[in-house]
Structure 1
Amino acid sequence: MSSAALEIKLSRPSRIYRPSEPLEGKIVVKSASSISHRGVRLAVNGSVIMQVRGGTAGLIESIVGAVKPVVIVNRIIEVRPPGRIASGTTEIPFSVTLKQSGDDNRERFYETCHGANINIQYLLTADVTRGYLHKSLCTTMEFILETDKAELLDQPASPEMVIFYITQDTQRHPLLPELKSGGFRVTGKMSVQCALSDPISGEIIVETSAVPIHSVDIHILRIESILFGDKIVTETSLVQTTQMEMCLGI
């Protein structure tokens, strides 16, 4: 029995697409001998899934059993009719448009998201169906979907800067006695509107502090919310922590 392998190669190494753009690539079949098949098919699946994590259940996780997966797209395309694939390496091109013209109200696409509780994922599955005596070939690859912003590309986005301040009066957690009596004040500004591929920019100024400050930690938090009945359930989880060393002026 000859061995065969199946692989999906997308046209973009980043695997990032928008709904209005064609999803293009090749289905690559490698086989030591020719194989007969009953058709080469490509399935495009996208869904919103509530994930169950291990450990202590949170608010969202406690109701995950009552929330069913939401299907965003489920499409099957026949790339090649039944026939035979020659030995060696065979590349079968494909092109799929996710968002058809005039179907704006039928399918609504959301950006790919791998959160702690909510998972929005898009998968490509190639399948080469064979006879009863031969195992079918199947492989799956994830591709990343971004919001369709083609109409906004000509308009430069100006980041919105937000000014903030932190003092002993804005903190709800226990503080050192020295900080309660002497106080501290940290001000700054940062951009709150940016693409995921762009850096988050801003500045932090330590104006005064009753105790020495050696470093500042910046936390990026992920906020996930779902509408359950007439209530909005929200959970927050840590994504990234960056520590900045202080530059002291004399």
Structure 2
Amino acid sequence: MSINLDIRLRKANKIYYEGETISGVIQIACSSEIKHDGVVLSLEGLVNLTISNKNVGIFEALYNSVKPITLLNQQVDLTPSGKLPAGMTQIPFELPLICAKEPKVLYETYHGVFVNITYMLKCEVKRSFLAKSVVKTQQFIIQYCPSSPPEKKTEVSFSISPETLQKTAKERISIPRFLITGVLDSTESCLTQPFTGCLTVHHTEVPIKSIEIQLVRVETCGCAEGYARDATEIQNIQIADGNVCPKIAIPIYMTFPRLFTCPTLITKNFKVEFEVNLVVIFGDDYLVTENFQILLNRTA
């Protein structure tokens, strides 16, 4: 005797907005008639917070703040106990996507290292203790409704040289002479649009080995009693390989990966922020990094 259980959503892309109704059908295929103790569908949305190993034992005050935050928690009985006929049985369902209690908002789906925001449907065909219950889960995605874009984006110019580095006067003497300038089209970016700009190498005493753009997530878990802040790399893109020709503009172009990024999020229990590092590696493996804080949003 076999039971195949599946959850089919109406939306093929599985993307929903707060306030919408998630709907679909539960499909149960049986090779023969079976008894069951009911079919139950659960809807769950959670923010899971963890503390990195380097902070364990240091921030005992964070114990309560790293508990999972429940955004959705609903359960409906689709059918009472009885029998399922042989063949395919389809049970339709509809559930509202509304966060009824604090924080009274559904955050965007996000898969990080120390912060994870997930939404899931779970269907269970309950059976007696002599027979194993059948369970199926289905993740779906919550996104913010696109907002209006800013009227005008502000360009950000930058210049990198030994004088701009956070070094002592004695340390600057040993640093090779170089000058790199550039401009970022904006540090406020839409998740569905590329992060763009350009840079120019004016001169350098030591040949350049590589120029890279690094996207970094900065996740903070904590509360008023204390917090743990960790930065981890999401992706690294090489925009120049080998020594580049001087005074030629090199384009900066980076797309944001889905699920691993979300609109910049700041709450009382956690934060999800993002930064971009411009990394210049010289031929002698000397490395120079310029950091830019960026604000991510979702605009139309």
The amino acid of 1:195's aligned partner reads C
Q: Which runs of 5+ in 2 are unaligned?
A: 249-300
Counterpart of 1:24 in structure 2 is: 23
Residue 223 of structure 1 corresponds to 218
- For 1:200 and 1:62, the matched residues in 2 are separated by 37
Q: TM-score, normalised by structure 2?
A: 0.68
Q: 1:108-162 deviations in whole A, cap 9, x for unaligned?
A: 2211222111122211100111233322111112212112x26x3xx34555543
CA distance in 2, matches of 1:69, 1:178: 48
> How is 1:25-64 mapped onto 2 (pairs within 5 angstroms)?
25-51=24-50, 57-59=53-55, 63=59
Q: CA deviation digits over 1:26-73, x for unaligned, max 9?
A: 2121211122323221101112222366xxx23489548713222122
Question: Superposed, which structure 2 residues align to 1:107-122 within 5 Å?
Answer: 107-122=104-119
Matched, 1:242 2:241: no
Does structure 1 residue 183 correspond to structure 2 residue 198?
Answer: no
* Equivalent position of 1:165 in the other structure: 159
1:128/1:42 CA distance change after superposition, 3 Å:
same
How many residues align? The count is 238
CA contact (8 A) 1:52 1:61 kept: no
Deviation at 1:191, TM superposition (A): 3.0
Q: Which structure dedicates a bigger proportion of its chain to strand?
A: 2
Aligned-residue CA RMSD (Å)? 2.9
Percent of aligned pairs with the same amino acid? 28
Q: Judging changes above 3 Å, is the alpha-carbon distance between structure 1 residues 39 and 198 closer, same or farther for their aligned structure 2 residues?
A: farther
How do 1:5-16 and structure 2 match up within 5 A? Answer: 5-16=4-15
Given the superposition, is the C-alpha separation of residues 191 and 78 from structure 1 closer, same or farther in structure 2, using an over 3 Å criterion? farther
* Cα displacement (A) at 1:232: 4.5
What displacement does 1:230 show?
Answer: 4.4
2:121 to 117, 124, 134: 124
Q: Secondary structure at the match of 2:188?
A: coil
1:138 maps to a residue whose letter is V
Residues 115 and 30 (structure 1), Cα distance of their counterparts in 2 relative to 1, 3 Å cut = same
| 8 Å contact from structure 2 (residues 182, 197) kept in 1 | no
Alpha-carbon distance in 1 for matches of 2:82, 2:155: 60
Q: Are 2:69 and 1:70 equivalent residues in the alignment?
A: yes
Bigger mean CA deviation after superposition, 170-179 or 229-238: 170-179
Q: Runs of 4 or more off by more than 6 Å in structure 1?
A: 173-176
Contact 2:71 2:103 in 1 (8 A): no
1-structure distance, mates of 2:26, 2:84 = 12
- Does the Cα contact within 8 Å between 2:162 and 2:175 map onto a contact in 1? no
- Structure 1 unmatched ranges of 5 or more: none
Larger displacement relative to structure 2 (135-144 or 203-212): 203-212
Distance 2:57 2:237 in 1: 28
Q: CA 1:198–1:177 in 2, change beyond 3 Å: closer, same or farther?
A: same
CA contact (8 A) 1:48 1:69 kept: yes
> TM-score scaled by structure 1?
0.80
Return the offset for 1:241: 0.2
